[in-house]
Amino acid sequence: MGAAMPKGPTKRRPETLARLLDAALQMFAAKGFHAATIEEICERAGFTRGAFYSNFASKDELFFALFDQRTGRIVERVAAAVDELTGTDDPLGGLVAKLSLDEQDQLWHLVSAEFTLYAARNAKAAEVLTAHDERLRAELSGLLQRLLADAGRTPSVDLDLLTRLVVAIREGGMAQSLVEPDRLPAGRLEQVFLPLILRAASTPQAILPK
């Protein structure tokens, strides 16, 4: 009798994951993290519960896979924007214009905001969310430092705190825009205030004599 084939991801697994994550984003945003069931997510993705449990142990685990996917794309967009702005006259002012919000961003905000409230009441979820948030902030902090350096500026406050403030403005602005889209267009708060805040929270680098 021949040796058993080793178990591992098949060619179809990335497609399965992608469809489950897309279905989860849609269902969590439409019905809420707790109200959306595993059955509904699988039905929307076109799979059985078996496909879910071959990839995830729980809805929490599914959320964090979705978190990594969505925030990974955010980091990619910010990194691309920072690269494009390198050497321009106003990299701080140009950043927000290159990070316009789309429908997927709005859906993700609905999901992540609800899960954050859930984590505030659940110590285990909070611990895992904190670890994921820290990794995201570390990447964003590095990009923010690059942007400031290209603008000839140095942070005058703790860089992690500054990154937290940038994230808070973006998320808070999006929350208000979802409720009052006609009075506060998406991205408006960032457009007006982020360049001002980044300049206020940094100082010009000393120019060394030639």
pLDDT tens figures, 152-209: 999 999 999 999 999 999 999 999 999 999 999 988 999 999 999 999 999 998 654 4
Q: What's the average model confidence in pLDDT over 66-71?
A: 95
Q: Which token pair is 13?
A: 């697994």
* Count of domains for the chain: 2
Mean pLDDT of the chain: 90
Question: What is the pLDDT at residue 12?
Answer: 52
Share of the chain above pLDDT 70, in %: 92
- Could you tell me the residue range of the domain that residue 34 belongs to? 12-56
8 A C-beta contact, residue 58 and residue 41: no
Same domain (yes/no): 189, 155: yes
Strand partners, 132: none
Do 69 and 173 lie in a common domain? yes
Residues 85, 131, single domain; the answer is yes
CB 38 within 8 Å of CB 59: yes
Q: Which of 157, 119, 125, 123 is nearest to 141 (CA)?
A: 157
Q: Which residues of 14-46 are buried (b: 16+ CB within 10 A; e: fewer)?
A: eebbebbbbbbbbbbbeeebeebebebbbebbe
Question: Which CATH number does the domain housing residue 38 bear?
Answer: 1.10.10.60
pLDDT tens for 6-45 read 334 444 588 899 999 999 999 999 999 999 999 999 999 9
pLDDT at 1 over 50: no
Predicted TM-score (pTM) of this structure = 0.86
156 touches 201 (CB < 8 A): yes
